[in-house]
A and B are shown apart, each in its own frame.
Chain A
């Protein structure tokens, strides 16, 4: 057992721990994380097993002779969902396997992937507003209801991000507050009698806060047998949904609308 082999196994273990933690935090499903980690470990002549827990991931890497193992536990970083990171990290795993990239290059590639900034926040706010307005249309709201929903969504989405990112509020409180503001604005449909479908406007005004990807990921974990992750993701997503429901109800109560 040479020292270089040991060192490279250890370095592979550290790299794979960071890789797995980042991919899970970015919203990758457990199955995808496992597949990519195995692919990279095999390419470097090691075997890896990962244990996925709600807020940490344990990566164990065995060397070629299966005589020494390195276990690294890493906490999931608090980054938001990021499909760009997931797809680039997946591609990295294929490159490592097919093009024989060295560990150093893989680490550099990893760092450059993480450095790439997210989409322009103004653009995201605008697109979210349009998306929620389209939702309103899909539920058969009219054009004026769509406009109300657009304004409510842009407003609430901006508030949610500002409260969570700059004021460092807990995401659940931020969602509650944003849902309250959005629903208050959407109640304008009832107040000013300017639309034929005010209840649809009110109902869809908070849908942009529904955590869709965590629900989808939790069911994906269920299908692949990672029951612990499934339940933890589902409960987190349900708590967020409950917060937005409470925020919506508070908004309706404040404006004294008879919605039920």
Chain B
């Protein structure tokens, strides 16, 4: 796996995070942080799926863990809450294709004429829907747990603020 592919993947993920973050009015000074986190997480997922042959679900989880691991440090550096940096950075990894393939499966279910097409469409709806939901749950888990752990550690050590 060439380095350029990984860097390109990270670069485009960074642009995607900045763009989708701007819809939710992320402050401009947070753009750099979101971009770096998104690049790190997405590139990790890319490496795991393409080079190590992992499935999408565990790779997305590990990618989100990377984001969650670096988010508190970024939040202290840029003085922005860790979630405000991590959640936009997770956006490029959201499996939008699965989400509306499952909606299309649902529509096909309704328009189907016999049991076989219905079963196939229902399978598409169920499978894509489940994969999408599981990926989102694991991603947010992977991003939030390190942030929570870090916050607990901060309040245990001293009473200083995280952001």
Q: Does B81 lie within 8 Å of A86, measured CB to CB?
A: yes
B146 at interface, CB cutoff 8 A:
no
Q: Does A245 lie within 8 Å of B83, measured CB to CB?
A: no
| A213-B84 Cα distance, complex, nearest whole Å | 10
Closest-CB distance, B92 to chain A (whole angstroms): 7
With both beta carbons as reference points, the residue of chain B lying nearest to A137 in the complex is identified as: B12
Residues in chain A near residue B104, CB distance under 8 A: 245, 248-249, 260
Residues in chain B near residue A215, CB distance under 8 A: 94, 136
Residues in chain B near residue A94, CB distance under 8 A: 161, 163
With both beta carbons as reference points, the residue of chain B lying nearest to A27 in the complex is identified as: B24
Residues in chain B near residue A169, CB distance under 8 A: none
Q: Among the listed A80, A206, A245, which residue makes an inter-chain contact with B107, where contact means beta carbons less than 8 Å apart?
A: A245
- Given A210-B94, A213-B87, A87-B23 contact (CB < 8 Å): no
| A94-B58 Cα distance, complex, nearest whole Å | 36
With both beta carbons as reference points, the residue of chain A lying nearest to B26 in the complex is identified as: A83
Residues in chain A near residue B81, CB distance under 8 A: 32, 86-87, 90
Closest-CB distance, B60 to chain A (whole angstroms): 13
Residues in chain A near residue B42, CB distance under 8 A: 138
Count CB-based A-B contacts (< 8 Å).
Answer: 150
Q: Does A127 lie within 8 Å of B19, measured CB to CB?
A: yes
With both beta carbons as reference points, the residue of chain B lying nearest to A136 in the complex is identified as: B12
A135 at interface, CB cutoff 8 A:
yes
- Given A244-B100, A260-B104, A81-B23 contact (CB < 8 Å): yes
Choose, from A3-11, A48-56, A59-67, A116-124, the stretch at the interface.
Answer: A116-124
Residues in chain B near residue A220, CB distance under 8 A: 83, 140, 144
- Given A82-B24, A131-B19, A219-B136, A246-B92 contact (CB < 8 Å): no
Closest-CB distance, A94 to chain B (whole angstroms): 5
With both beta carbons as reference points, the residue of chain B lying nearest to A203 in the complex is identified as: B97
A58 at interface, CB cutoff 8 A:
no
A130 at interface, CB cutoff 8 A:
yes
Q: Does A207 lie within 8 Å of B22, measured CB to CB?
A: no
| A137-B31 Cα distance, complex, nearest whole Å | 20
| A114-B81 Cα distance, complex, nearest whole Å | 18
- Given A138-B42, A222-B137, A130-B19 contact (CB < 8 Å): yes
Q: Among the listed A212, A219, A248, which residue makes an inter-chain contact with B20, where contact means beta carbons less than 8 Å apart?
A: A212
Across the A-B interface, give the 7 residue pairs with the lowest CB-CB distance, nearest first: A131-B19, A245-B103, A219-B140, A81-B24, A134-B12, A127-B19, A207-B96
Pull 30 A–B residue pairs with CB atoms less than 8 Å apart, ordered by A: A81-B23, A83-B21, A85-B25, A86-B81, A87-B27, A90-B163, A94-B163, A118-B25, A123-B22, A124-B22, A128-B20, A129-B19, A130-B19, A131-B22, A132-B19, A134-B13, A135-B12, A138-B13, A204-B96, A206-B100, A210-B99, A212-B20, A216-B91, A216-B136, A216-B140, A219-B139, A220-B140, A222-B137, A241-B103, A246-B107
Which A residues fall within an 8 A CB radius of B? 27, 29, 32, 80-87, 90-91, 94, 98, 118-119, 123-124, 127-132, 134-135, 137-139, 203-204, 206-208, 210, 212-213, 215-217, 219-220, 222-223, 241-242, 244-246, 248-249, 260
A82-B24, A203-B97 known; 9 other A-B pairs, CB under 8 Å?
Answer: A135-B12, A138-B9, A206-B100, A212-B90, A215-B94, A216-B140, A220-B83, A223-B145, A249-B104
